[in-house]
Structure 1
Amino acid sequence: MTIKTSAARPGMYVHAVEGGWMASPFWRKHLVLASARDVAKLVEAGIGEIVIDTDKGVGPLAPASAPLSVAAAVETAAPAVTSTAPPPRTRRRAASELDRARAVVEQSRAAMLRMFADARMGHAIDHRALAPLVDSITEFVARDQRALLTVTRLRSKDEYTWLHSVAVGALLIGFARHLGLPEDEASDLGLAGLLHDIGKMAVPSAVLEKTGSLDPAELAVVRHHPEKGHALLLGGDVPEVVRDVCLHHHERVDGRGYPFGLAGDRLSLAARMSAVCDVYDAVTSLRPYKRPWAPGDALARMQSWHGHFDQELLGAFIDHIGIHPPGALVRLRSNRLALVLGTGADDPTAPPVRAFFDIPTQSRLPLTEVATDATGDPILGGERGAYWFGLAWDRMRTAVLTANGTDAAPSPRAVGA
Structure 2
Amino acid sequence: MLHRLPVEDLRLGMFVVSLECTWLQSPFWRSRFLLRDTDDLARMVAAGIEHVTIDDQLGLGPTVAAADEPTGVEVIAQGTPDAPLLVERRTARRRGATDVERARATVEKAKDAVAAMFGEARLGRAVQLAQVTPLVDEIATAMERNRSAMLSVTRLKTKDEYTYLHSVAVCALMINLARQVGCPELEVHALGIAGLLHDVGKMAMPPSVLGKEGALDEQERRIIMSHPEIGHRFLQASPEVTAVALDVCLHHHERVDGTGYPEGLSGDALSRAARMGAICDVYDAITSQRPYKRPWSPSDALARMASWSGHFDEQLFRAFVASIGIHPVGALVRLHSNRLALVLPCEDEDPTTPPVRAFYDVRDARFVTPQDVATRNSEGGDPIVRAERGDHWFRGDWATIRARVEAAEPAGTVAATLVQAQAAEARA
> Cα RMSD (Å) of the superposition?
3.1
Aligned to 2:117: 115
- Render the CA deviation track for 1:350-384: whole Å, top value 9, x for unaligned: 9xxxxxxxxxxxxxxxxxxx97149625699xxxx
Correspondence 1:156-235 to 2 at 5 A: 156-235=158-237
Taking the aligned partners of 2:164 and 2:195, their CA distance within structure 1 comes to 11
Taking the aligned partners of 1:323 and 1:336, their CA distance within structure 2 comes to 10
Q: CA deviation at 1:122?
A: 2.4
Structure 1 residue matching 2:192: 3-state secondary structure: helix
Q: CA deviation at 1:130?
A: 1.1
Aligned to 2:282: 279
2:313 is the counterpart of 1:310: yes
Taking the aligned partners of 1:312 and 1:336, their CA distance within structure 2 comes to 25
Taking the aligned partners of 2:312 and 2:207, their CA distance within structure 1 comes to 29
2:280 is the counterpart of 1:270: no
2:350 is the counterpart of 1:340: yes
- Render the CA deviation track for 1:124-167: whole Å, top value 9, x for unaligned: 22232111111101111111111111111122121111001100
Q: TM-score, normalised by structure 2?
A: 0.57
2:147 is the counterpart of 1:140: no
Q: TM-score, normalised by structure 1?
A: 0.58
Q: Residue 326 of structure 2: which of 323, 332, 355 is its match?
A: 323
Aligned to 1:72: none
For the structure 1 residues 336 and 214, does the alpha-carbon distance in structure 2 shift closer, same or farther, using more than 3 Å as the test?
Answer: closer
Q: How many residues align?
A: 261
Work out which structure has the larger RCO, using CA pairs closer than 8 Å and 6 or more positions apart in sequence: 1
For the structure 1 residues 121 and 301, does the alpha-carbon distance in structure 2 shift closer, same or farther, using more than 3 Å as the test?
Answer: same
Taking the aligned partners of 2:226 and 2:346, their CA distance within structure 1 comes to 46
Structure 1 residue matching 2:348: 3-state secondary structure: strand
Taking the aligned partners of 1:225 and 1:280, their CA distance within structure 2 comes to 19
Structure 1 residue matching 2:194: 3-state secondary structure: helix
Taking the aligned partners of 2:95 and 2:145, their CA distance within structure 1 comes to 12
For the structure 1 residues 246 and 322, does the alpha-carbon distance in structure 2 shift closer, same or farther, using more than 3 Å as the test?
Answer: same
Structure 2 residue matching 1:233: 3-state secondary structure: helix
1:278 is matched by which residue type in structure 2?
D
For the structure 1 residues 93 and 255, does the alpha-carbon distance in structure 2 shift closer, same or farther, using more than 3 Å as the test?
Answer: farther
Taking the aligned partners of 2:134 and 2:356, their CA distance within structure 1 comes to 35
Aligned to 2:130: 128
Q: CA deviation at 1:317?
A: 0.9
Q: Residue 380 of structure 2: which of 372, 376, 380 is its match?
A: 376
Taking the aligned partners of 2:262 and 2:158, their CA distance within structure 1 comes to 28
For the structure 1 residues 336 and 217, does the alpha-carbon distance in structure 2 shift closer, same or farther, using more than 3 Å as the test?
Answer: closer
Q: CA deviation at 1:112?
A: 0.6
Q: Which runs of 4+ in 1 moved over 3 A?
A: 92-95, 347-350, 377-380
Q: CA deviation at 1:338?
A: 2.4
2:152 is the counterpart of 1:150: yes
Structure 2 residue matching 1:207: 3-state secondary structure: helix
Aligned to 1:105: 107
Aligned to 1:239: 242
- Render the CA deviation track for 1:14-60: whole Å, top value 9, x for unaligned: xxxxxxxxxxxxxxxxxxxxxxxxxxxxxxxxxxxxxxxxxxxxxxx
Structure 2 residue matching 1:214: 3-state secondary structure: coil
For the structure 1 residues 374 and 110, does the alpha-carbon distance in structure 2 shift closer, same or farther, using more than 3 Å as the test?
Answer: closer
Structure 2 residue matching 1:210: 3-state secondary structure: coil
Q: CA deviation at 1:230?
A: 0.6
Where does structure 2 lack aligned partners over 5 or more consecutive residues?
1-57, 60-93, 329-344, 358-373, 385-428
Q: CA deviation at 1:119?
A: 1.7
Taking the aligned partners of 2:327 and 2:95, their CA distance within structure 1 comes to 22
2:264 is the counterpart of 1:254: no
1:301 is matched by which residue type in structure 2?
R
Contact 1:323/1:348 (<8 A) preserved: no
For the structure 1 residues 205 and 182, does the alpha-carbon distance in structure 2 shift closer, same or farther, using more than 3 Å as the test?
Answer: same
For the structure 1 residues 256 and 104, does the alpha-carbon distance in structure 2 shift closer, same or farther, using more than 3 Å as the test?
Answer: same
2:102 is the counterpart of 1:96: no
